[in-house]
Amino acid sequence: MIGDILKYLREKEYVSGEVLAQKLGISRVAVWKQIQKLKDIEYKIISDQNLGYCLISRPDLLIPQEVQRGLFTNYIGKKIYYFPELKSTNIIAKEKALHRAEGIDEGTIIIAEKQSAGKGRLGREWFSPAGGIWFSIILYPQLSPSYISRITLMTAVAVVKAIKVCTQSEPQIKWPNDILINEKKVCGVLSEMSAELDIINWVVVGIGINVNIDFRDYPEDIQANTISLKEISGKKVLRVKLLQSFLREFEKYYDKLKRKEFLSVLEEWKLYSHTLGKKIRVDMGERIITGEAVNINEEGALVLKKEDGKLVKIISGTILK
């Protein structure tokens, strides 16, 4: 209903309560109640006894009505579940992905303004206060489970493209999918999936972007390695615009992946790489390998050249400082 009334309210122009009531097929008192609800979620609306209601400004909240207004994607973000606060969007997305048959379609998104137990890679916590963009996308790709690394890499490219457009900054990707600006992390991606031997049941891609967060609000242990887009730009970044831009890019690259055109995505990934050509140490869980990052192959694996000249393919790991 709130979405409906927003369709008819005009920015910087009055619309009478009577017209709104007519268009929506409700009473004028019901219109007034809807307006109060909008005001409660930070829409600035002024009213005039004779002229009606006039929308002055919209909140920078990631509510579905705002995100979907002018989104122009075919299926990514067509359905959005929005929460002011959640433990973790990935947890809810995984629960929902199990109910595909009940209308949880590919491209459904879970968004939270804050997460109380945000999850990072390797069981780490992900600090998720208000001001960031914390969300998860549900996908059902008809691909083999080995494609998960490619989905993760392609997500990183979509994030870089969206950040570049919205902030004029030059983000880089640390393999596999940390987005860095000035050597500090601005975004992380956590992909989780359920799969059979040869086919994926579902994938949940969780993305966390530090947007309008102040340096002093970060926990001390991550302050040195973390940065927000607001700090980079010196001003607040419009989160709705950034998210929309990302969703459009994501759909474009995901479509390419489904058409098995990963190599062109990989070429772009390499353009933004922070990793290739560097001597690095990679924590693979059971051991640490040192070498030069010489390539990312067509499966999304990092190829490391060890001191003895031997090449090692790494599907999953963390690059150490």
Which residues form the interface with ligand BTN (CB under 6 A)?
88-90, 115, 118-121, 124, 126, 128, 134-136, 178, 188-190, 206-208
**Cα separation of 186 and 83, whole Å?**
22
Find how far residue 164's CA is from the centre of its chain.
14
> Among residues 120 and 129, whose Cβ is nearest to ligand BTN?
120
- Residue 136 CB, nearest approach to ligand BTN (Å): 5
Token digits for 285? 């869980």
Paired with 134 in beta bridges are: 112, 208
- Residue 143 CB, nearest approach to ligand BTN (Å): 21
- Residue 111 CB, nearest approach to ligand BTN (Å): 9
- Residue 242 CB, nearest approach to ligand BTN (Å): 14
> Among residues 22 and 194, whose Cβ is nearest to ligand BTN?
194
81, 43 Cβ separation under 8 angstroms: no
- Residue 179 CB, nearest approach to ligand BTN (Å): 9
> Among residues 52 and 208, whose Cβ is nearest to ligand BTN?
208
Length of the chain: 321
Cα dihedral angle (214, 216, 220, 225), rounded to 10 degrees? 40
Using Cβ positions, the residue closest to ligand BTN within the complex turns out to be 188
Neighbours of 107 (CB within 10 A): 21
- Residue 296 CB, nearest approach to ligand BTN (Å): 18
Q: What is the 3-state secondary structure (H, E, C) of 94-145?
A: HHHHCCHHHCCCCCCEEEEEEECCCECHHHCECCCCCCCEEEEEEECCCCCH
> Among residues 220 and 308, whose Cβ is nearest to ligand BTN?
220
Residue of 148, 220, 210 lying closest to 179 (CA atoms): 210
CA distances from 208 to 19, 49, 147, 192, 234 (A): 41, 44, 21, 14, 20
> Among residues 15 and 173, whose Cβ is nearest to ligand BTN?
173
> Among residues 99 and 124, whose Cβ is nearest to ligand BTN?
124
Neighbours of 298 (CB within 10 A): 10
> Among residues 9 and 91, whose Cβ is nearest to ligand BTN?
91
- Residue 133 CB, nearest approach to ligand BTN (Å): 8
